[in-house]
Structure 1
Amino acid sequence: MTAVVHHRTIGIQGQRVFYREAGDPARPTLVLLHGFPTSSAMFRGLLADLGGEYHLIAPDHIGFGQSAAPSVADFDYSFERLTEITLGLLDALGLDRFALYVQDYGAPIGLRIASRHPDRVTAIISQSGNAYLEGFTPFWDVLFAHAKDRAANEADVRGLLEPAATRWQYEHGVPKDRLDRLNPDTWTLDQAYLDRPGSKEAQLQLFWDYQFNLDGYPAFQEYFRTHRPPVLVAWGEHDEIFGPAGARAFARDLPDAEIHLLDAGHFALETHGPEIAALIRDFLGRALG
Structure 2
Amino acid sequence: MTAFATRYRTALVDGLEIAYREAGDPSAPTLVLLHGFPSSSHMFRGLIAELADEYHLIAPDHVGFGRSAAPATTEFDYSFERLTDTTVRLLDRLGLDRFALYLHDYGAPIGLRIAARHPERITALISQSGNAYTEGFTPFWKVLFQHAEDRAAHEPTVRQLLTAEATRWQYTHGVPADRQDRISPDAWTLDQAYLDRPGNREVQLQLFWDYQFNLAEYPLFQEYLRTHRPPTLVAWGRGDEIFGPEGAQAYARDLPDAEIHLLDAGHFALETHGGEIAALIRDFLRRHR
Q: Structure 1 length normalisation: TM-score?
A: 0.99
Q: Distance in 1 between matches of 2:4 and 2:204?
A: 33
Identity of aligned residues (%): 74
Tell me if the contact between 2:3 and 2:25 (Cα under 8 Å) persists in the aligned partners. no
1:143-154 paired onto structure 2 within 5 Å: 143-154=144-155
Look up the match of 2:142. 141
Corresponding residue SS for 2:59: strand
| Alignment RMSD | 0.8
C-alpha distance in structure 2 between counterparts of 1:208 and 1:152, whole Å: 13
Whether 1:58 aligns to 2:59 is: yes
Letter in 1 for 2:76: F
Aligned to 1:91: 92
3-state SS in 2 of match to 1:233: strand
Tell me the CA shift for residue 103 of structure 1.
0.1
Q: Residue 103 of structure 2 aligns with which residue?
A: 102
- Deviation per CA, 1:238-288: give whole Å up to 9, x if none: 000000000000000000000000000000000000000000000000111
**CA separation in 2, counterparts of 1:75 and 1:259?**
37
Query: CA shift at 1:3, angstroms?
Result: 2.7
Structure 2 partner of 1:179: 180
What is the distance in 1 between the residues matched to 2:158 and 2:23? Answer: 36
1:2 to partner: Cα distance:
8.9
Asked whether the equivalents of residues 16 and 67 of structure 1 are also in contact (C-alpha less than 8 Å), the reply is: yes
1:2–1:24 distance in 2 versus 1, CA, 3 Å: closer
Unaligned runs of 5+ in 2: none
Q: Deviations over 1:139-198 (max 9, x none)?
A: 000000000000000000000000000000000000000000010000000000000000
In the alignment, what sits opposite 2:129? 128
- Figure out how many residues of one structure are paired with residues of the other and give that number: 288
Task: Answer yes or no: is the 8 Å Cα contact 1:2–1:49 preserved in 2.
Answer: no
Q: Contact 1:2–1:48 (CA<8 Å) still a contact in 2?
A: no
Give deviations 1:88-120, integer Å, cap 9, x for gaps. Answer: 000000000000001000000000000000000
Asked if residue 262 in structure 1 is aligned to residue 247 in structure 2, the reply is no
| Whole-angstrom CA distance in 2 between matches of 1:3 and 1:286 | 22
- Contact kept in structure 2, 1:83 and 1:110, CA below 8 Å: yes
The equivalent of 2:115 in structure 1 is 114
Q: Distance in 1 between matches of 2:173 and 2:29?
A: 34
Three-state SS of the structure 1 residue aligned to 2:217 is: helix
Structure 1 runs not aligned, ≥5 long: none
Listed one character per residue, the Cα deviations across residues 43-75 of structure 1 (whole Å, up to 9, x for unaligned) are: 000111100100000000000000000000000
Consecutive aligned runs of 4 or more in structure 1 exceeding 2 Å deviation: none
Q: Secondary structure, in 3 states, of the residue corresponding to 1:52?
A: coil
Amino acid paired to 2:71: P
Contact 1:3–1:49 (CA<8 Å) still a contact in 2?
Answer: no
